[in-house]
């Protein structure tokens, strides 16, 4: 059974057609004034102009045709011709039953299955993951789960930054500390022993120091650039350093990702496409797309558009926009855009993707426009198959990107532990878990803490920025992750008690106002999924989860389940509770949240 809006649209489309009008005018949507009626149709407004009649006259004719139709309890005309539609309890009960019986809780799959790659996460090797990686990981994971649930074949790719200038910095630093290496030979026994002794903590100190030095020490910066080129050219010694540092970083990053409930099908990095770059460069050259520019080689991607740009001497010019994509640097090394372009080549070859979604900070929009245009010009992909899914920043109370109190960038692992500790405090303050084992308490605290972080992010449209407020995020009241977990646990408790009492769910019937409200909330799941999917925006699912939890709260308060004396009503309400838990768990899962068994 389709959702209620589509069911009603079928009736209204037929009524408009019977009046000699376009059936598309019969589109029904959720009402802007649910206090008047749950659904509305505004087609009479446009139909009046087409028919040369007052919209209200058209609305009256349409209303007369559908009045008393199957499932329609009443049709009221409001204002100049809006149609407000109420449903029969029988139709609501039928819809609730279909949702309860459906393993997918009323969700429809995509009409055409696609092969989709979601590129998200994107941490750089040698740097600890920080709060800046939080949004990409959370949003990308949810989008991956959403597309997979709707029926697409999906791969999530972490796409590590492991092949650029940061690696040259680390190699130059290694040589500074332990002596110059022969880039054409293997590491000496002494250098190999020193490399083996480097720990993750060492690495997280080494990189910031090397990056800071490169900003002021031109000679060191030049050595790092040359080291980058030699690394990419196959230096055995340099690649040994690269492999060690990459392994250290990836182990820590996988641990952070796992703590967030984020996982990938592909753990690839920029280095994985290095073998493809020489052939790609030759292909670009053969197609006449590679142009020399001040010693570097670029691909021009502007279609004639320009943008004002200020030169170093202060002169303002109209420069091509987007600017050319730098493919090979003057030192001969591959650049950020080079590996991104080669990654498109690799993904097209290995996965024949229909769609590749890049979940990356929206401030990278110009870069992806360069890469996407270059891919299209070169014939590696179509423009429709490449999308940048941008997002805003997580800010502090000052409205600027979140920092530690000392003004530094907060490590992601530290942020996760902050959330866990705040969850522990909140659970203890509410006397939750006093009878839990230490292991269960920690498991619940982790789930509550992660739910607080993730839902606070996903409840906002991804393109907006939001203020980090862990106290507010951790509340068990209001629009928060912990509130949703609490509602899930409440339903689980009801179902356990029902099982212990031998109470069984039965056919659903609808009679009470809160039963109607809950059914309408359940019915809204598919529309929320479609909106989230089409707009690549998980906040539609977050909103649905909250609305569903609130509808159940009202239902639970006003419609007793186990205390109900009427056996049929009790069985019906238990079935509604089961349907709610199933759909809520599905929605939370798509957001990357997991509810414990008890709280």
3-class DSSP state of 309: strand
The candidate with the shortest Cα–Cα distance to 488, out of 594, 561, 392, is 594
Do strands 355-359 and 290-293 pair parallel, antiparallel, or not at all (unpaired)?
unpaired
Burial class of residue 470, CB neighbours in 10 A (0-12, 13-18, 19+)? middle
- What sign for the dihedral angle of Cα 218, 221, 225, 226? positive
Q: Given the structure tokens 């080079």, which residue do they identify?
A: 338
Distance CA 458, CA 538 (A): 6
3-class DSSP state of 524: coil
Q: Given the structure tokens 């907006």, which residue do they identify?
A: 464
Q: Which residues of the chain have pLDDT under 50?
A: none
Q: Given the structure tokens 């409840």, which residue do they identify?
A: 459
Distance CA 386, CA 378 (A): 14
Do strands 355-359 and 325-328 pair parallel, antiparallel, or not at all (unpaired)?
unpaired
Contact 485, 473 (CB under 8 A): no
* 301: Cβ contacts below 8 Å, ≥ 6 apart: 322, 324, 325, 369, 370, 373, 374, 377
The predicted pLDDT at position 540 comes to: 98
Contact 533, 146 (CB under 8 A): yes
Dig out the tokens for 89 from the structure.
């309890």
Contact 528, 541 (CB under 8 A): yes
Give the CA count within 13 Å in the CB-facing half-sphere of 415. 27
Q: What is the pLDDT of residues 67-95, one digit of tens each?
A: 988 999 999 999 999 999 999 999 999 99
Contact 431, 361 (CB under 8 A): no
Distances (CA, A) of 360 to 92, 390, 397, 413, 500: 42, 5, 23, 20, 49
Q: Which residue blocks in 19-133 are alpha helix, DSSP H? A: 43-51, 55-66, 89-101
Distance CA 192, CA 237 (A): 9
The predicted pLDDT at position 408 comes to: 66
Q: Given the structure tokens 């039963």, which residue do they identify?
A: 515
Q: Given the structure tokens 């939750």, which residue do they identify?
A: 432
The candidate with the shortest Cα–Cα distance to 544, out of 563, 558, 527, is 527
Tell me: cis bond preceding 497? Omega within 30 of 0 counts: no
Contact 134, 460 (CB under 8 A): no
The predicted pLDDT at position 309 comes to: 79
Distances (CA, A) of 406 to 402, 429, 507: 11, 29, 60
* 58: Cβ contacts below 8 Å, ≥ 6 apart: 19, 21, 44, 47, 48, 51, 81
- What sign for the dihedral angle of Cα 160, 164, 166, 167? positive
Distance CA 429, CA 78 (A): 50
Q: What order of strands is seen across the sheet that includes strand 39-41?
A: 29-30, 39-41, 82-87, 72-78
Q: Given the structure tokens 């619940």, which residue do they identify?
A: 444
Cβ-based neighbour number of residue 266 at 10 Å: 17
Q: Across the strands, what pairs with 316?
A: 310
Distance CA 238, CA 223 (A): 13
Give the CA dihedral 189, 191, 194, 196, nearest 10 degrees. -70
The candidate with the shortest Cα–Cα distance to 359, out of 267, 462, 263, 271, is 462
């Amino acid at each position: 059974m389709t959702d209620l809006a589509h069911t009603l649209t079928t009736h209204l489309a037929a009524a408009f057609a019977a009046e000699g009008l376009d059936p598309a005018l019969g589109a029904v949507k959720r009402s802007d004034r649910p206090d008047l009626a749950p659904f509305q149709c505004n087609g009479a407004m446009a139909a009046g102009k087409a028919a040369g009649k007052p919209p209200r006259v058209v609305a009256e004719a349409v209303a007369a045709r559908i009045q008393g139709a199957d499932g329609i309890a009443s049709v009221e005309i409001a204002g100049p011709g809006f149609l407000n539609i109420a449903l029969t309890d029988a139709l609501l009960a039928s819809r609730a039953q279909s949702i309860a019986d459906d393993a997918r809780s009323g969700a429809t799959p995509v009409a055409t299955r696609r092969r989709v790659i979601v590129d998200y996460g994107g941490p750089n090797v040698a740097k600890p993951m920080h709060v800046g990686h939080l949004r990409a990981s959370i949003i990308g994971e949810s989008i991956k789960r959403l597309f997979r649930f709707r029926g697409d074949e999906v791969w999530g790719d972490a796409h590590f930054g492991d092949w650029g200038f940061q690696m040259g910095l680390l190699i130059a630093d290694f040589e500074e500390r332990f002596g110059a290496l022969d880039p054409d030979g293997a590491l000496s026994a002494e250098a190999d022993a020193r490399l083996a002794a480097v720990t993750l903590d060492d690495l997280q100190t080494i990189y910031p120091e090397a990056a800071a030095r490169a900003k002021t020490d031109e000679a060191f910066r030049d050595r790092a650039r040359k080291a980058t080129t030699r690394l990419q050219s196959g230096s055995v010694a340099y690649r040994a350093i690269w492999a060690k540092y990459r392994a250290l970083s990836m182990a820590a990053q996988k641990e952070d990702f796992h703590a967030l409930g984020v996982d990938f099908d592909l753990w690839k990095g920029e280095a994985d496409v290095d073998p493809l770059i020489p052939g790609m460069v030759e292909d670009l050259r053969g197609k006449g797309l590679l142009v020399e520019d001040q010693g570097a080689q670029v691909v021009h991607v502007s279609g004639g558009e320009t943008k004002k740009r200020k030169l170093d001497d202060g002169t303002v010019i109209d420069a091509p926009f987007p600017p050319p994509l730098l493919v090979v640097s003057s030192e001969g090394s591959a650049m950020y855009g080079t590996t991104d372009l080669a990654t498109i080549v690799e993904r097209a070859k290995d996965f024949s993707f229909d769609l590749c979604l890049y979940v990356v900070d929206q401030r990278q929009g110009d870069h992806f426009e360069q890469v996407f245009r270059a891919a299209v010009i070169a014939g590696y992909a179509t423009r429709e198959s490449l999308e940048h899914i941008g997002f805003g920043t997580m800010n502090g109370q000052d409205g600027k990107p979140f920092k530690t109190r000392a003004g530094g960038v907060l490590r992601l692992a530290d942020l996760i532990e902050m959330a866990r500790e705040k969850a522990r405090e909140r659970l203890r303050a509410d006397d939750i878990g006093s009878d839990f084992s230490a292991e269960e308490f920690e498991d619940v605290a982790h789930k509550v803490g992660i739910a607080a972080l993730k839902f606070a992010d996903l409840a906002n449209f991804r393109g907006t920025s939001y203020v980090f407020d862990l106290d507010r995020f951790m509340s068990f009241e209001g629009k928060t992750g912990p509130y949703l977990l609490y509602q899930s646990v409440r339903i689980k408790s009801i179902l356990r008690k029902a099982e212990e009492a031998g109470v069984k769910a039965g056919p659903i019937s609808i009679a009470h106002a809160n039963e109607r409200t809950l059914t309408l909330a359940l019915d809204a799941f598919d529309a929320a999924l479609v909106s989230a999917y089409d707009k690549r925006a998980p906040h539609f699912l977050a909103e649905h989860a909250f609305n569903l939890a609130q509808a159940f709260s009202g239902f639970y308060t006003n419609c007793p389940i186990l205390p109900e004396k009427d056996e049929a009503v009790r069985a019906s309400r238990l079935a509604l509770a089961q349907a709610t838990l199933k759909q809520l768990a599905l929605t939370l899962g798509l957001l990357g949240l997991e509810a414990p068994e008890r709280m």
